[in-house]
Chain A
Amino acid sequence: MSDSTHQVSADQLDIPDVDVALTVNGKAVRGRCEPRKLLVDFLREDLGLTGTHAGCEHGICGACTVLIDGRASRTCTTLAVQAAGTQIVTIEGLARDGVMHPMQQAFHEHHALQCGFCTPGMLITAIDFLNSHRNPDETEVREAMSAVICRCTGYQGIVNAVLAVSRQPPTALPE
């Protein structure tokens, strides 16, 4: 963004990096970045976890959703420095010992992904939703999943997958 009239004040030229230490997918990690770095970029660029996708970058599309302290959260509207000290689960942390998370398995069985771009956000949002809402009906599933936009518009398979998991016995969240 170029703006020849924009004045950068002296203290903006000297902005110290911040330490970010947190737990990602059960592993303690740390990094150093500019305070303005978005959590999604920190996960992708600094930690190499590119499964979390940066879509709209203003909190609307939901592709970048991860679990922060167990709660689905947008990482494009969260600064990396705000996540210091938290426990994060990304799409890379869902499968265990080569076995897919039940939600991943259900997405597979119900053809709940086409291009796959929104899938990480869909899975994380669905897992948090079912962990906090027991026995939802289809309307509630649709309302909850409206938090994430699928541009392939393959919503029916997604709703079917979430409903199928909701009928299974409760599964433990990955730490």
Chain B
Amino acid sequence: MKPPRFQYHAARTIEEAIELLARYAGEARILAGGQSLVPMLNFRLLEPRALIDIGRIPGLDAITGGPLVTLGAMTRQRSAEESPIVQTALPLLREALRWVGHLPTRSRGTIGGSIAHADPSAEIPLVLLASDGSVTVQGPQGTRDIAAVDLFESLFTTSLVPGELLTRVHMPAMPAGTRIGFDEFARRHGDFAIVTVAVALTPSEDGSTARANPESGPRYAQVRLAASGVGSVPLRLTAAEAHLLQHGTEPASLAAAAELAAAAADPVGDANGSADYRRHLLKVLLERTLESTVRPTAKRLAS
């Protein structure tokens, strides 16, 4: 249970890290917080020729506010969780971070590392997708932005090409009044989740939630729903979103949206749950989370 031998480089700049990536031609791994990479090394699941540590690159852990919030790739999950910018502008990320591993793993684990790792059960990639976020990557050819919807290709696989480094993560600030919900089902808190759902409901610009008739429940101008654990990548639940936009949020509408979400999902069963079980979990979790988001009653777990 010790890592294999590897060359170690502490990059001082992004450019140096990219140059090192090129030098090792796909045989080096980027070390950010190490909370996924080091266990994989301990298990000898990976035997890279070199690790390129980006933890000492100045400024790569900065969080900047504005209409588009930017988090440097090396932002520790714990720092994001405690950031006033995140607390105000990215409530969905703030809530989701509470579910990422445990406090001691969040002290070291990073926002960019989790996204680049693209674990299909991870919370941060799910939030990136649900938030219409994007990432900036830099490589020998320069920099480019990749929208979340184009980023996650398969299990542990992103659309970064070899030699590219994820440097920044962007999420649009959620409009004031946005209601968020986040829930996951895992065998124990902090374990890899079996199914996770993320909900963000934004009222129209004047802050109102129109009611077509008294029975239809509040109607939102923007509905964003996503789930993980029901496919090899996080999934945007577009049919359910369209349903809620059109039919409002009374209980029968939420149930119908959850049915639509489950029907659209194509999970793969594994030791943690069959495909049918995951589809069922998605339906139950989504309906429950929508209900508590639209009509909060129970005392929420304080953070």
Q: Does B12 contact A (CB under 8 A)?
A: no
**Contact between A147 and B6 (Cβ–Cβ < 8 Å)?**
no
Residues in B neighbouring A73, C-beta threshold 8 A: 104, 107-108
Residues in B neighbouring A128, C-beta threshold 8 A: 103-104, 107
Q: What separation, in Å, do the CA atoms of A62 and B78 have in the docked complex?
A: 17
Contact of B103 among A11, A12, A125, A137 (CB under 8 A): A125
B90-148 contacts to A, CB under 8 A, are 101-105, 107-108
Q: What separation, in Å, do the CA atoms of A12 and B108 have in the docked complex?
A: 27
Of all chain B residues, which has the CB nearest A59? B39
Q: What separation, in Å, do the CA atoms of A76 and B39 have in the docked complex?
A: 8
B1-33 contacts to A, CB under 8 A, are 1-8, 10, 31
Residues in B neighbouring A171, C-beta threshold 8 A: none
Contact of B38 among A68, A71, A79 (CB under 8 A): A79
**Contact between B104 and A78 (Cβ–Cβ < 8 Å)?**
no
Contact A147:B34 (CB < 8 A) given known A12-B49, A74-B108: no
For the A-B complex, the count of residue pairs with Cβ-Cβ distances under 8 Å equals 112
Contact of A1 among B7, B10, B31, B44 (CB under 8 A): B44
**Contact between B42 and A58 (Cβ–Cβ < 8 Å)?**
yes
Q: What separation, in Å, do the CA atoms of A10 and B109 have in the docked complex?
A: 32
Q: What separation, in Å, do the CA atoms of A81 and B190 have in the docked complex?
A: 27
Residues in A neighbouring B103, C-beta threshold 8 A: 72, 125, 128-129, 132, 144, 147
**Contact between A38 and B104 (Cβ–Cβ < 8 Å)?**
no
Q: Does B73 contact A (CB under 8 A)?
A: no
Q: Does B161 contact A (CB under 8 A)?
A: no
Contact A82:B188 (CB < 8 A) given known A18-B8, A36-B3: no
**Contact between B5 and A78 (Cβ–Cβ < 8 Å)?**
no
Interface size class of A (residues with CB under 8 A): 35 or more
Residues in A neighbouring B5, C-beta threshold 8 A: 8, 12, 15, 34, 36
Interface centre among A74, A139, A140 (most CB of B within 10 A): A74
**Contact between B35 and A38 (Cβ–Cβ < 8 Å)?**
no
**Contact between B7 and A77 (Cβ–Cβ < 8 Å)?**
no
Residues in A neighbouring B47, C-beta threshold 8 A: 6
Q: A residues near B, CB below 8 A?
A: 1, 6, 8-9, 11-12, 15, 18, 34-36, 38, 41, 57-59, 62, 65, 68, 71-74, 76-79, 81-82, 125, 128-129, 132, 136-137, 139-140, 143-144, 146-147
Q: List 16 A-B contacts (CB under 8 A).
A: A8-B5, A9-B49, A12-B49, A15-B5, A34-B5, A38-B2, A57-B42, A59-B38, A71-B78, A76-B42, A78-B34, A79-B3, A128-B103, A132-B82, A139-B301, A140-B302
Q: B residues near A, CB below 8 A?
A: 1-8, 10, 31, 34-35, 38-39, 41-44, 47, 49, 51, 53, 55, 78, 82, 101-105, 107-108, 188-190, 301-302
- CB-CB nearest 6 A-B residue pairs: A35-B8, A147-B102, A71-B107, A57-B1, A58-B39, A72-B104
Given A35-B8, A74-B35, 12 other A-B residues pairs in contact with their CB atoms under 8 A = A8-B5, A34-B5, A36-B8, A57-B2, A58-B42, A73-B104, A73-B108, A77-B42, A81-B10, A81-B53, A132-B82, A136-B302
